[in-house]
C-alpha cells in the first residue's frame, strides 16, 4: 500500500523537527546510544539500497553506464564532505565562530538531503530508510547547533531549510517533466551517496570490544529489519 503524497513530503520534515525538539529538551549526553542508532540506520539504508534500489535502477539500462553514475554519486558525497566534515554520517568537526552562520555546512547538507529525496517517490521502504537515517543525524546536528555560539534564530533557520530539502528532492523528481526522463541517473547518484555514508558508518572503528559487539548486533538487526520491510 502506497503512502499518500503528503506523507512522503511531511514525514522527513517531522523526523528532523522531532529530532531537534528531542535534542533541545533532553540534551542527550550518551553518545554511545546515538552511535548505535546511527549504526542501525546505516545498515538499514545500505540493505534497502542493495535489495530495492540497485535491482530497479539496473533494469532496462546499460550496466556500465549505471555503475558510472553510482561512482559519480560516491564522488559527489566525498566532495560534499570537504565542506560538511562528515556531518551526513554523524561527525561534527566544525568550529562555528560567535554569531557566524556555517554556510558551507548548510550548503553541503542541503545538497545531500536534496539528492536523498529523489528515490523516495513510489517507494515506501526507501522512505522508511531515509527517516531512520535522518533521525540520528538530525539529533547530532541539533546538539551541535544548540551548543554552538550561533544565535538560536540561525539554528532554527538551518533546521527549517534542512528539513525541507529531502521533500523538495522528492517533489522535483516527481513533478518536473524534464527530470522524470533522468530518473535512473538521479537514482544512481543517490545510490552512490547512500553507499558512501552507509559504509562509513558501518566500518568506522569503535573503541571497546563491548561496544563493537553491540554495534555488530545492531547492524544485523538493521539488515534483518530492512529485509522484512520489503
Q: What's the pLDDT tens digit per position in 165-220?
A: 999 999 988 887 677 778 889 999 999 999 999 998 888 755 554 568 888 999 99
Question: Do residues 156 and 64 touch, judged by C-beta distance below 8 A?
Answer: no
pLDDT of residue 102: 81
Winning range, highest mean pLDDT, from 17-21, 59-63, 147-151: 17-21
Which of 219, 188, 224, 229 is CA-nearest to residue 41? 219
By CB neighbour count within 10 A (0-12 exposed, 13-18 middle, 19+ buried), where does 196 fall?
buried
Q: What's the pLDDT tens digit per position in 33-76?
A: 888 899 999 999 999 999 999 999 998 889 999 999 999 999 99
**Dist CA 131 CA 86 (whole Å):** 18
Percent of the chain past pLDDT 70, that is, above it, reads 88
pLDDT of residue 29: 76
Q: Residue 162 above 80 pLDDT? A: yes
The 8-class DSSP code of residue 196 comes to H
Q: The C-alpha cell of 156 is what?
A: 532554527
Task: Show me where the domains of the chain are located.
Answer: 31-229
pLDDT of residue 95: 66
The 8-class DSSP code of residue 50 comes to I
Winning range, highest mean pLDDT, from 77-86, 89-98, 205-214: 77-86
What is the number of alpha carbons within 13 Å of residue 67 lying toward its C-beta?
A: 3
Question: Do residues 160 and 9 touch, judged by C-beta distance below 8 A?
Answer: no
Collapsing DSSP to helix, strand or coil, 148 comes out as: coil
pLDDT of residue 5: 73
pLDDT of residue 207: 57
Helix ranges (DSSP H) in the chain = 5-26, 31-48, 54-58, 63-84, 103-116, 124-147, 152-175, 177-180, 183-203, 209-229
**Dist CA 7 CA 211 (whole Å):** 36
Question: Do residues 41 and 47 touch, judged by C-beta distance below 8 A?
Answer: no
pLDDT of residue 114: 94
Predicted model pTM:
0.89
Amino acid at each position: 500500500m502506497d503512502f499518500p503524497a503528503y506523507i512522503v513530503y511531511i514525514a522527513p520534515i517531522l523526523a528532523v523537527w522531532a529530532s531537534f525538539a528531542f535534542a533541545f529538551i533532553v540534551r542527550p549526553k550518551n553518545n554511545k546510544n546515538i552511535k548505535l542508532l546511527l549504526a542501525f540506520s546505516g545498515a538499514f539504508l545500505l540493505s534497502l539500497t542493495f535489495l530495492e534500489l540497485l535491482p530497479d535502477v539496473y533494469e532496462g539500462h546499460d550496466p556500465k553506464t549505471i555503475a558510472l553514475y553510482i561512482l559519480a554519486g560516491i564522488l559527489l558525497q566525498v566532495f560534499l564532505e570537504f565542506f560538511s566534515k562528515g556531518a551526513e554520517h554523524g561527525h561534527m568537526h566544525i568550529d562555528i565562530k560567535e554569531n557566524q552562520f556555517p554556510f558551507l555546512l548548510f550548503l553541503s547538507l542541503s545538497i545531500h538531503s536534496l539528492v536523498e529525496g529523489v528515490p523516495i517517490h513510489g517507494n515506501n521502504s526507501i522512505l522508511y530508510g531515509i527517516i531512520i537515517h535522518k533521525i540520528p543525524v538530525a539529533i547530532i546536528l541539533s546538539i551541535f547547533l544548540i551548543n554552538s555560539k550561533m544565535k538560536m534564530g540561525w539554528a532554527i533557520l538551518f533546521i527549517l531549510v534542512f528539513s525541507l530539502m529531502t521533500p523538495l528532492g522528492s517533489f522535483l523528481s516527481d513533478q518536473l517533466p524534464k527530470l522524470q526522463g533522468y530518473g535512473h541517473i538521479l537514482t544512481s547518484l543517490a545510490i552512490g551517496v547512500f553507499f558512501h555514508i552507509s559504509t562509513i558508518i558501518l566500518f568506522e572503528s569503535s573503541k571497546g570490544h563491548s561496544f563493537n559487539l553491540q554495534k555488530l548486533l545492531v547492524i544485523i538487526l538493521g539488515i534483518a529489519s530492512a529485509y522484512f520491510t520489503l
